[in-house]
Amino acid sequence: MRRILISGGSRGIGRACVEAFAACGDQVAFIYRSRDEEAARVAAATGALAIKADISDPNEARRAVAAAETALGGTVEVLVNNAGVAHSGLLQDMTDAEWRQVCDTNLSVAFYLCRAVISGMVAAHSGRIVNVGSMWGKTGASCEVAYSATKAGLRGMTMALAKELGPSGITVNCVEPGFIDTDMTAEFDDEVRAVVCEDTPMGRLGTPADVAAAVSFLSSDAAGFITGQIIGVDGGLAV
Ligand code: NAP
């Protein structure tokens, strides 16, 4: 039974990760920002602990990790950096506040949470960190410049931190989802969905469980010699 912390566990991919770890008998805490009802439903269904915090604020992130470690009864053994926000629009129309929100939520949050859990992992000489990036971090998306930049940043962070923490027995990897059927992609109409399916070699959108399966594997003992890797979970779309 491991102690797991997942950011953005109240919905979508994060929720599927909470369900997957809880089904394995792990002790799970997850962080969410605002949607109390969704979070309560996930907690009730899985037995996981829900922690409300806007972790784009470093002090809130620190508080959330401390609350998780108190409730889990020890330091975090597996961290899944999943929380993220999308932003669509021309770069020239983006405000400073919008840019900061995307960067703070998608990239800085991973830094805040990693920083808070690393000392416990180093002391234990083991640990797993899995970042949830995006295929846009690899290919870039028009009208999603900030989002693409933050997800590319997670790639660099993954590789650099893997080198830094490997000697301490900690692995750091990144999964890059393609189009996954969650609230983040709910705005796509049937026409857009049909085009995505046509362009995706596997012929469908991904499910949150598809991504959670990769996260679970990278967090498992079986993946103990895999680190610094970026794994696409995109049905072949970004190949
Ligand atoms: P989602 O359904 O929109 O859920 C986002 C989750 O993150 C929610 O639990 C939300 O909490 C939480 N969150 C957002 N900002 C937060 C903050 N500042 N502090 C704390 N929690 C925060 O997203 P998703 O589609 O599952 O995506 C999850 C991850 O996968 C993201 O990093 C996203 O970029 C990435 N991804 C998704 C897709 C896709 O097609 N869906 C594709 C590629 C990559 P509340 O519920 O309280 O708001």
User: Per-residue pLDDT tens for 48-92?
Assistant: 999 999 999 999 999 999 999 999 999 999 999 999 999 999 999
How much distance in Å is there from the Cα of 18 to the middle of ligand 1? 13
Given strand 3-7, what is the order of strands in its sheet? Answer: 49-52, 27-32, 3-7, 78-81, 127-132, 170-177, 230-233
Per cent of the chain over pLDDT 90 is 97
pLDDT, tens only, 166-177: 999 999 999 999
Mean pLDDT, the chain, as a whole number?
Answer: 97
Residue 40 pLDDT level (bands cut at 50, 70, 90): very high
Residue 33 resides in a domain? yes
CA atoms 73, 75, 78, 80: torsion sign: positive
39: alpha, beta or left, given left = phi > 0 and alpha = psi -120 to 50?
alpha
Q: Which two tokens stand for residue 214?
A: 């990769």
Provide the CATH number for the domain around residue 127: 3.40.50.720
Give the pLDDT score at 179.
96
Residue of 36, 101, 136, 182 best suited for mutating to test ligand 1, as the one with most atoms within 8 Å of CB: 182
Residue 198 resides in a domain? no
Whether ligand 1 lies within 6 angstroms of the CB of 13 is answered as yes
Residue 193 resides in a domain? no
Give the pLDDT score at 187.
87
Q: Please give the tally of structural domains in the chain.
A: 1
* 183-202 average pLDDT score: 92
Whether ligand 1 lies within 6 angstroms of the CB of 185 is answered as yes
Query: Does the pLDDT of residue 184 top 90, yes or no?
Result: no
Partners of residue 131 on adjacent β-strands: 81, 174
* 177-190 average pLDDT score: 92
Amino acid found at 12? G
Q: So which residues are the catalytic ones?
A: 147
Whether ligand 1 lies within 6 angstroms of the CB of 85 is answered as yes
pLDDT, tens only, 85-123: 999 999 999 999 999 999 999 999 999 999 999 999 999
Per cent of the chain over pLDDT 70 is 100
Residue 196 resides in a domain? no
Whether ligand 1 lies within 6 angstroms of the CB of 101 is answered as no
Boundaries of domain holding 116: 3-179+210-232
* 158-166 average pLDDT score: 98
Whether ligand 1 lies within 6 angstroms of the CB of 114 is answered as no
Residue 18 pLDDT level (bands cut at 50, 70, 90): very high
How much distance in Å is there from the Cα of 190 to the middle of ligand 1? 22
Residue 203 resides in a domain? no
Residue 78 resides in a domain? yes
Helical ranges in the chain per DSSP H = 12-23, 36-46, 58-72, 96-103, 109-124, 136-139, 145-165, 190-199, 208-218
Whether ligand 1 lies within 6 angstroms of the CB of 15 is answered as no
- Cα angle 39, 40, 41 (rounded to 5 degrees) comes to 90
Residue 202 resides in a domain? no
Residue of 15, 85, 192 best suited for mutating to test ligand 1, as the one with most atoms within 8 Å of CB: 85
Residue 190 resides in a domain? no
Residues 6+ away with beta carbon under 8 Å from 123? 75
Residue 154 pLDDT level (bands cut at 50, 70, 90): very high
Residue 162 pLDDT level (bands cut at 50, 70, 90): very high
Residue of 32, 54, 183 best suited for mutating to test ligand 1, as the one with most atoms within 8 Å of CB: 32
